[in-house]
Homo-oligomer: A and B are copies of this chain.
């Protein structure tokens, strides 16, 4: 049977060649490295846009492993991850899915927001995350042994999981878990200044706004403003948009439709800037 799998050369596309900009907050890099060498799967927990994806890219670069990222969603099936047969002309050809590719070449496979995936997707990773470390490819009736370099990383945002979408204990207890939060203010300002192309002073103002907005959580705001949105505001300012207008479209409107909350955030903005 014919098969279409990524060649050794194509996998190189997934290798990160330039050092991603990442400023460590605590011992997360040591923990990740220890887990990698102990061949343990890792779960990154934390709010939206706090740097989990960037952290994985940084670690993939540091460990010199290709990184294959899959954004999970309700319709992501085990077949999407593992692979499928496709008819090509008169031939049925096997196509590896991204998880199989990662196992085959010892890459880091990053399942972003794993809790969003269908249950079969979550279960397919079970034999990869215990002492067996192998992927059954049921459609082909074979088993793929994971090389030592293969690593599974998942992310998970505990902030807005409903009971219906919680991860089962039988899945959770397969991961070493690293908790993330927004970077401390000075570090966040450094990130915003650098990525947004503005002065450190202006970045500090934006970070201050971010902190104050995050304090609104529990007062009607579902989740705080992310580091990413602070960078958006900075980028608009760097393109000549007035700081207050930039903060409004990047920090107020995206996170809430509520008129009262928008007004509160606007007050925070005008107080700071």
Contact = CB atoms under 8 A, between A and B. Distances in A.
Q: What secondary structure prevails in chain A residues at the interface with B?
A: mixed
A239 interface: yes
Contact of A138 (B31, B80, B113, B119): B80
Contacts of A124: 71, 73
Contact of A53 (B13, B97, B130): B130
B72 A38 contact: no
Number of copies: 6
Interface stretch (A172-180, A182-190, A199-207): A172-180
Contact of A78 (B34, B73, B88, B176): B73
Given A31-B236, A35-B236, A255-B173, A75 B78 contact: yes
Interface of A: 1, 4, 6, 10, 13, 27, 30-31, 34-35, 37-38, 40, 43, 45, 48-49, 53-54, 69-78, 80, 85-92, 95-98, 101, 112-113, 116, 118-120, 122-124, 126-127, 130-131, 136, 138-139, 141, 143, 157-161, 168-170, 172-179, 195, 222-223, 225-226, 228-229, 232, 235-236, 238-241, 245, 249-250, 252-255, 257
